[in-house]
Amino acid sequence: MRIKKVTFLTSLLLFLIVSCGTKDKKVPQETTFKPNESVKDTVAIEAINEAEEIEKDTFRLTEENAIDFFFDYAKSVKENKVRLTTSMGGFTIQLYDNVPYHKANFIYLTKKGYFDNTQFHRVVPDFIIQGGNSDDKETSTKRKGIGRYLLPPDTRKGHKHHRGTISMPSSERDNPHKLASPFEFFIVVTQPGSYHLDGSYTPFGRVIEGMDVVDKINQVDIDQGEWPMRNVYIVKAEVL
């Protein structure tokens, strides 16, 4: 009986030792797993922080810096022609040298690729075609990347809204001074012109080649909101 009791106690002691040893082996596995999770989180956080720093360092135009920027940018601009290739053909615009801010803005946006894949989103028969916007997400993303700003009107340089004139619409924001929306433009198709626009909008160039394409765009079918029933894209805008 005593032998059996000793054997039972010995077996119980061995079981407890083995059990404790098994539990001890599990602890390092849990400990090594948690640091691995922390490393993954840290990498993700570092990536986010790095993206935020890049975002901070990216230059954007604002209503505070736009005038100074285009004043300096205009000094380096030697080109004065832009070619717009649309889904209905191409035409060429010559920009006026004595409207420096608007000219520089149009050249800058062209070189940034802003106008590519935008649309002629408003067509008013026998009046204008208006471009530089779209309902595609790409356009709003481009605007966000370039910045949020307006341009002052420059209406006293002797330019009128003759047929073929390219001009800038005013912003839809609270805008008593007719500040120009820099991302859009319109082209007059009225014969001989739409002179009631003079003094309110800034002509900054004229179509010198391909006015037949402008007329063709002006003749497309439109909905009640003056949006073409079939999208008319600016496939490519390039400085000549």
DSSP track, 193-205:
B-GGGBTTBEEEE
What is the rounded CA–CA span in Å between residue 83 and residue 81?
Answer: 7
CATH code where residue 105 lies: 2.40.100.10
Full domain range(s) for residue 8: 1-58
3-state secondary structure of 95: strand
* Percent share of the chain, pLDDT over 70: 75
Question: Do the beta carbons of residue 120 and residue 222 sit within 8 Å?
Answer: no
Asked if pLDDT for residue 8 goes beyond 70, the answer is no
Q: 49-69 burial by CB neighbour count: b if 16+ within 10 A, else e?
A: eeeeeeeeeeeebeeeebeeb
At residue 32, what is the residue type? T
**Tens of pLDDT along 23-53?**
443 333 332 333 332 222 334 344 334 444 4
CA distance 155 to 133: 23
The token pair at 199 is 């003094």
Residues 66-72 have a mean pLDDT of 97
* pLDDT of res. 58: 86
Nearest-angstrom CA–CA distance, 128 and 161: 11
Q: Which of 38, 58, 78 is a domain's end point? A: 58
Q: Indicate whether 70 and 42 sit together in one domain.
A: no
Average pLDDT, the chain: 82
Same domain (yes/no): 39, 124: no
Residues 44 and 160 in one domain: no
Q: Check pLDDT > 90 for residue 94.
A: yes
Beta carbons within 10 angstroms of residue 201's beta carbon: 21
For residues 109-114, average pLDDT:
98
Compute the distance between CA of residue 62 and CA of residue 66 in angstroms, rounded to an integer: 6
- Of 3-7, 149-153, 235-239, where does mean pLDDT reach its minimum? 3-7
Low-confidence winner among 121-125, 169-173, 219-223 (lowest mean pLDDT): 169-173
Nearest CA among 214, 213, 224 for reference residue 129: 214
The pLDDT of residue 57: 56
Identify the H or E element spanning 171: none
What pLDDT does 31 receive? 29
- Measured in residues, the chain has a length of 240
Give the chain's end-to-end CA distance (angstroms, integer): 109
Are 11 and 81 in the same domain?
A: no
Please choose, from the candidates 79, 150, 65, the residue with its C-alpha nearest in 3D space to the C-alpha of residue 108: 79
Are 12 and 112 part of one and the same domain?
no
The closest of 156, 163, 168 to 98, measured between CA atoms, is 156
Average pLDDT over residues 55-66: 84
pLDDT band at 56 (very low <50, low <70, confident <90, very high): low
pLDDT tier for residue 170 given thresholds of 50, 70 and 90: confident
Q: In terms of domains, do 176 and 117 share one?
A: yes
pTM equals 0.76
Q: What is the pLDDT of residues 174-223, one digit of tens each?
A: 677 778 889 999 999 999 999 999 999 999 999 999 999 999 999 999 99
User: Residue 55 — pLDDT band, cuts 50, 70, 90?
Assistant: low
56 Ramachandran zone, left/alpha/beta (phi>0; psi -120 to 50): alpha
Cα 198 vs. chain centroid, distance in angstroms? 30
**Residue 89 DSSP SS3:** strand
User: How many percent of the chain have pLDDT more than 90?
Assistant: 70
Check whether residue 185 and residue 93 sit in a common domain. Answer: yes
Same domain, 147 and 218: yes
| Cβ proximity of 164 and 131 under 8 Å | no
Q: What is the pLDDT of residue 119?
A: 97
